[in-house]
Amino acid sequence: MTDSLTGVETRLKALMLKALDGETAAQRDLLSALSGYLRAYFARRLGRDAADLEDLVQEALLAIHVKRASYDRAQPFTPWAYGVARYKLLDHYRRAGSRAEAPLEDAGALFAADDVAPREARRDLGRLMQALPERQRKLVQDVKLTGLSIEEASQRSGMSASAVKVSIHRAVQAMARRARDGH
């Protein structure tokens, strides 16, 4: 088990044990944490835009909740949760009449870091920034992404610090409008 998966196992198993002991807050926290892992797991297999992705996540969460009494406290939690998710995926394929397979993987497949969302966010940010004038794009890059101070960006651009602040503010507003309008 990798260090990150070990940490996930420790955290989720602790929540599961507390949930089994009747702590409703732990049950809620467990299902909330699992929903992100399940969404990423199913999205990697079905595609992020699959119409029934959320239904599948909810089915798996419900199954984990309903079948929690079958969990053996002496065993690791993540392989058990992965098994439930995998069976829900297989059920989905059967209902859809698909011959797709869900290979037998280890629990790491469910609890792997989801690198799709950050990649999509970088792509979207890149598109929004491309629509900005060059000077604003450079200022946003320097201050918001690279981490330069306003003063450092001011010196690099030859603009006053207040002009840099105003330009960045306007750029961020423009990107927010474009994102909201879907452009």
Summarize pLDDT for 61-95 with one digit per residue, the tens. Answer: 999 998 988 999 999 998 899 889 888 888 888 88
pLDDT at 105 over 70: no
**121 and 87, same structural domain?**
no
Structural domain containing residue 177: 116-181
Q: Are residues 57 and 33 in the same domain?
A: yes
Q: What is the CATH number of the domain that holds 161?
A: 1.10.10.10
Domain end among 68, 92, 111:
111
Number of domains in the chain: 2
Average pLDDT, the chain: 82
Can you tell me the distance from the alpha carbon of 120 to that of 101, in angstroms, rounded to the nearest whole number? Answer: 26
Whether residue 45 is found in the same domain as residue 96? yes
Residue with tokens 């799709």: 116
pLDDT band at 53 (very low <50, low <70, confident <90, very high): confident
Q: Give dist(CA 118, CA 134) in Å, integer.
A: 24
pLDDT of 107 reads: 47
